[in-house]
Structures are given as structure tokens and as C-alpha cells.
């Protein structure tokens, strides 16, 4: 089978293009070569968290991988049959567990296999979705497409030490479904806050501010705060909701330089008033590129990650897509190719 070549400097030019490409390679059985990996970053090439995700996926689909080392700007990924597996992995740093799961969950489920994974690393770290966002927002959106997984957060892992532990089980997808997510209609929101060695007074102040902003916008808020042990002090803040026509969320990691945490996360949540939020939008593309129907969703802005995933998915699966401008955002239509599945 001819190897598909991907320019890793396309779009945002970061790790996203490698994650999406190897995921689709594993699902479709098509070998890929990615060049110029993270070319646009200050430190080019694969970082440890990218390495771990590709390494685990390689085990799952019995792949032959070339160029898999820290700093590598080119890899070749030759997948074979995906296997049912039970694995224990350690990122070894505060590398993002949610970003690794972005690779593994669709690859395993859409290959109609099962994975049980216990992994140690960063659960809630900068430049990554939080574990709560992955569980409650990504999990809800994926379930509507027929992709189901369970997630238990045994221990939080903040930057810089990480050390968090998550147990995940991914279930075989029986049927992959199209989606239509156009506009949020619910006015009920869930607020989750996990913290460790952060002032409880600060947490309550920020939580109250988030509630004030949401209640002013006529939202009924259900709040849950929990102090959970971790190797480093930290705080993970999530606001989310879903209804028949939307799945949206907004998360934020508290650091010493973070200001107005409650205001920031609440404002971002209110901005995402269409069918999906901007961060979820790019995560939908890999599975939707394999649905033999037209899916449609609306989002308030187009991110570089979304553009990158549309490019990669169309190159590997042959899916078609279009982006339309709306008065208050954008509409994305994508028609997948089911025969791209192995």
C-alpha cells in the first residue's frame, strides 16, 4: 500500500497534525510519513508526550514505526491489525494524558476493539484539555457518534511533576453515527473544580464570580468542588453543559500567574453558545471523517487545530468538507468515507 505523505508544518504546525495522522493511520490501515514535525515551534520535533502517545498506539496496532525519538522531525508509521489490550504506561513527565487519549480512544473504538489502560502523567496541565473536560465534554460528544469510554481519575497530576493516574477503558464502536450540533438551548450549567494546596477562600471567590456571571446570563448552576491530593499544587476548573443540539464546555488550569479565573472560564463558556465549543470542534473531525453521512456543527470561531484536522482527515480518508460563515460564527459540514475503515 502506498505511503501517504503529510507535511507536519501545515496549519498550526504543532503536535496536533501528528496525533491526528497516526490515529487515522491506525484506523484505516494506511501507512503514513510525516515530515517537518513541529517545525513552527521554538523547539521543533517530537516531545515526550507526543512520543508516548504514538508509542502506545504503535503497540495497540502492532505498527512498525521509524524515527520515533525525542526531537525527531520525521516519522514513518506502518500500522497492522489493532488488538485488544490491557496496558500500564508512565509518561515519565507532566505530559498530557488527555492529549494521549485523543490518539488512543478513536483509534481503538473505531477499530472495534477494547483497551484497558492505566496511565501516569499530567491530568491537568497547560496547553491541553483537562481530564474533566475529556471525561464530560469529549465523552458526551463521542458517545453520540457511538464511541464510548470510561475514565476514572485516581490521582491528579499538575505541572511540573505530573504523577497523576488515570484508568481508562475504551469500548468497541458498534456503529458510527453522524451528528448535528447547531445551537445551545439549555440554561443549566455544571461547574466542577478540583484543587490541591490552593487557598479555599480563593477557590470560593472564583467560583462565586463564575456563578455570578452565568446567573446574570440566566443559567442555573450546579457546582461541585473537591480537594484531591496531587504532587504539586494546582486547580482544574470546568464549566460544561449539553442538550439535544449542543455539547459545550470551557476549562482552565490555575497557576500562580492566573488572574480572574472565574471570570475567564465563565466568559469563554458563554461565548461558546453554538453547537460545540472551539476546542471540541477539532476533536470531532477524525471520527466524522469516517461516517458515510453528512455531519454538521456550528462553532463560534475556527481554530488552527480545526483547520489542521480537516486537512489531515481529507488527505487520509478522502472526506469532503465545507466551512460557511454565519452572523455569529461558522458552520462546518463534513461528509465522511466509511470505506476508509479497515
Cis peptide before 160 (omega within 30 of 0): yes
Nearest-CA neighbor of 188 among 240, 254, 238, 258? Answer: 240
Name the DSSP class of 135.
I
pLDDT recorded at residue 9: 87
SS3 59: helix
Name the DSSP class of 338.
G
Q: Which domains does the chain have, with CATH numbers?
A: 1-83 (3.30.110.140)
pLDDT recorded at residue 38: 87
Catalogue the active-site residues: 305
Residues in the chain predicted with pLDDT less than 70, given as ranges, are 256-258, 339-342
CA 16 to chain centre: 10
pLDDT recorded at residue 256: 62
CB count within 10 Å of CB 217 equals: 14
Question: Whole-prediction pTM value?
Answer: 0.95
Name the DSSP class of 71.
T
DSSP 189-247: EEEEEEEESS-HHHHHHHHHHHHHHHHHTT-EEEEEEEE--BSS-EEEEEEEEEETTEE
pLDDT tens-digit map of 305-337: 999 999 999 999 999 999 999 999 999 999 999
pLDDT recorded at residue 339: 66
Amino acid at each position: 500500500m502506498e505511503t501517504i505523505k503529510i507535511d507536519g508544518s501545515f496549519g498550526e504546525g504543532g503536535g496536533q497534525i501528528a496525533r491526528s495522522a497516526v490515529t487515522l493511520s491506525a484506523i484505516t490501515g494506511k501507512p503514513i510519513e510525516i515530515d517537518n514535525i513541529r517545525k513552527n515551534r521554538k523547539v521543533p520535533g517530537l516531545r515526550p508526550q507526543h512520543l508516548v502517545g504514538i508509542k502506545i498506539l504503535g503497540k495497540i496496532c502492532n505498527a512498525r514505526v521509524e524515527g520515533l525519538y525525542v526531537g525527531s522531525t520525521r516519522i514513518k508509521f506502518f500500522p497492522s491489525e489493532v488488538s485488544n489490550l490491557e496496558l500500564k504506561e508512565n509518561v515519565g513527565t507532566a505530559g498530557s494524558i488527555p492529549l494521549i487519549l485523543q490518539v488512543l480512544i478513536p483509534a481503538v473504538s473505531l477499530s472495534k476493539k477494547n483497551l484497558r489502560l492505566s496511565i501516569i502523567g499530567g491530568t491537568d496541565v497547560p496547553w491541553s484539555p483537562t481530564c474533566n473536560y475529556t471525561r464530560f465534554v469529549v465523552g458526551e460528544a463521542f458517545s453520540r457518534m457511538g464511541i464510548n469510554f470510561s475514565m476514572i481519575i485516581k490521582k491528579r497530576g499538575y505541572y511540573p511533576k505530573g504523577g497523576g493516574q488515570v484508568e481508562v477503558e475504551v469500548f468497541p464502536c458498534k456503529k458510527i453515527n453522524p451528528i448535528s450540533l447547531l445551537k445551545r438551548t439549555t440554561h443549566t450549567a455544571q461547574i466542577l473544580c478540583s484543587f490541591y494546596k490552593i487557598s479555599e477562600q480563593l477557590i470560593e471567590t472564583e467560583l462565586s464570580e463564575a456563578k455570578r456571571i452565568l446567573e446574570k446570563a440566566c443559567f442555573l448552576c450546579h457546582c461541585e468542588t473537591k480537594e484531591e491530593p496531587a504532587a504539586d499544587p494546582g486547580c482544574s476548573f470546568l464549566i460544561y453543559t449539553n442538550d439535544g443540539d449542543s455539547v459545550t464546555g470551557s476549562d482552565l488550569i490555575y497557576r500562580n500567574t492566573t488572574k480572574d479565573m472565574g471570570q475567564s472560564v465563565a466568559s469563554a463558556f458563554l461565548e461558546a453558545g453554538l453547537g460545540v465549543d472551539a476546542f471540541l470542534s477539532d476533536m470531532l473531525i477524525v471520527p466524522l471523517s469516517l461516517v458515510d453521512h453528512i455531519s454538521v456543527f456550528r462553532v463560534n470561531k475556527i481554530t488552527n487545530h480545526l483547520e489542521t484536522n480537516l486537512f489531515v482527515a481529507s488527505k487520509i480518508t478522502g472526506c469532503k468538507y465545507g466551512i460557511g460563515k454565519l452572523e455569529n460564527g461558522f458552520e462546518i459540514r463534513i461528509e465522511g468515507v466509511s470505506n476508509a475503515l479497515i
